[in-house]
Amino acid sequence: MSLQKYKCDFSDLKFVQYPVGTQCNICCSFCGQKKITYPLHSIESIRGKVIPLLPSIDKIFLCGGEPTILNSAILIRDTIIKSKYKCKIGMNTNGLMFCDEWTDNINIFYHVSFSLNASNEARYNKIIAKSDFNKVVSNIDKFCKKANGCESPIDIRATMVVTADTVFDIYDFVNLYMSLVYIMFFLFLSMATDSLVLSMPLARNKKQLY
């Protein structure tokens, strides 16, 4: 029996969610991926399995680990930019390395969710090692300013994993984001495995939210 029979037809595929790897450049106290050691995707396998999908799909969502430090995510980003594909990127990032090489081509994004998880530097440093609160906030701010002039709306979110240590910081977290000049926001709580995730869409105007 030929396996040819079971070949999939991807011609109608418009969205791909791709886990780029579990590796991360910071260390959150609540991280569920600490003990996971999946090997990195090889560049060859990405070239063979993911890159060929890019010309025809509308969106690819990169989740990690931390996409900004992973070659797989960088290759996907650079291919979309170089080939001028219409495919847009959505991703979760901790924001530390979300700098110009990611944000200079603002029109490649449809969604970015920043995992900030704290409302101030002292709390951030307590629950997150190997990072820099002020740099992350600055990167978020710069990205949102660029996104304001973007051709198509980008869904920009900030998230906070609410643990026993940070449950009383929710109000300050909301205030922090309001102080980043965003005039419209809402929030919702959703159940994670052993914590709550607070997710706030950030936008400067209605056009960006809807």
The footprint of ligand SF4 (CB under 6 A) covers: 24, 26-28, 31, 33, 64-66, 94, 115
The answer to whether 161 and 192 are in contact (CB under 8 A) is: yes
Q: Shortest gap between Cβ of 1 and ligand SF4 (angstroms)?
A: 42
Quick one: 115 or 119, whose CB is closer to ligand SF4?
115
Q: Shortest gap between Cβ of 68 and ligand SF4 (angstroms)?
A: 10
Phi, psi of 93 (to 5 degrees): -145, 150
Quick one: 64 or 201, whose CB is closer to ligand SF4?
64
The answer to whether 110 and 90 are in contact (CB under 8 A) is: yes
Beta strands in the chain (DSSP E): 15-19, 27-28, 59-63, 88-93, 109-115, 128-129, 155-162, 188-191, 196-202
Q: Shortest gap between Cβ of 169 and ligand SF4 (angstroms)?
A: 16
Quick one: 11 or 193, whose CB is closer to ligand SF4?
193
Quick one: 28 or 60, whose CB is closer to ligand SF4?
28
User: Tokens representing 77?
Assistant: 């980003």
Q: Shortest gap between Cβ of 180 and ligand SF4 (angstroms)?
A: 19
The angle formed by the CA atoms of residues 123, 109 and 58, to the nearest 5 degrees, is 135
